[in-house]
Structure 1
């Protein structure tokens, strides 16, 4: 049995930037140990039990370096506990409505989680970070994932996510794993934004942060490259050359940090 804690980042619709959605797969046999390790790291950093830990802002009493070290230690703890990261990105210029894009991100990550579970011959539960979207469509959306599955391109009927036995909500502070996924996805967002915004002064730090995240990405059989299950660029075909160039540039940036995508983002005008 596995747990998949999910979260989004960069939801604000800004031209030239990417919306992110992702989940961290936690083997249930390692979950208690990981939770205890994060609890210890929090205590060692001097955090009060009711302090809500996120990527930002820094908890009261922690310097920038202390907070950075705490987040680094939490990332390392996830790696040590055999957790795996599944991520999805889409350019805002192509995504349109951010709420709709987030729901599509949920579809993609949940389907890839199902695929990963199938390969591992395991079952799992999905825990979505609670949010309020336009018209509160998320409730029905998750019910649909459980009852019907996802509609994949070129398939007449939806694909059932048979390896996932439940879709539920979570919120920051209700588990140490909500802090973990917030730190992971927000770290990824910060690094990608450094690239997208051409913030040259932060580029070295961004590459270093991505290198720290790299071991977490889902890979097959010890391969160094990352399949689209681990990191998915959406859509797979980008017809507008300028937008396509942004996807290729992001892939090249990620490769600098050891996140080498196997996915080919095509530029087929037809």
Structure 2
């Protein structure tokens, strides 16, 4: 018998039954709930349902910790649109098309060891994002394969540099059963603009996270509740004609510096059993 599965399932059933009794759930309400779950499965939206209910972020925080006070870069959820084996690129990595719509954005920084502060050479930085209109390339047939995605290795000083564009916010439900649920609850289904990262280096714990665009109108009401203050980028806009010309551009651009701080394996916390006070 799987002791952990038995323990968690028993507690889950107890809490569900207690909720139904306290809320006086009727047969009609139960039938509607089961129908919704059936439709969620038919539309392959269980991950989305977990996201908008705040479950995905909660479990991510339980697993990886939250608000590390700058010692280690905060973890965040992977999201459903990650693709493995994005192409490797030389630094500076250009992950967008030359004619990509949107404001050019240059992100640079270092990957460093949180324990020692030493730069981590040959760390892999895997990045992916939506375009200015809020679509990832595997959602949009007008974008080429692996557009706005790429991998790179840091140099001997742990440095990375990416040229991309400022992404746009986007709605995640697209009119499916989860979208109808949010509408019935009076909630919107928008995510603030963000860029995803997976950062890994030998001898350190891999990091999955996302950086958010400052000033986005949905930062305070992210549909999945994933915004963390430490992950909001400090972006600077450049309008000076000389700076624009130096970059070989014909319009204003933005820059951002962000350092990723990785922890070592011995600092990884072990998830607690339900009997030890786990939030599950």
* TM-score normalised by the chain length of structure 1: 0.26
Q: Which has the larger radius of gyration?
A: 2
Whichever structure has more helix as a proportion of its residues is 1
- Compare the two structures and name the one with the higher strand fraction: 2
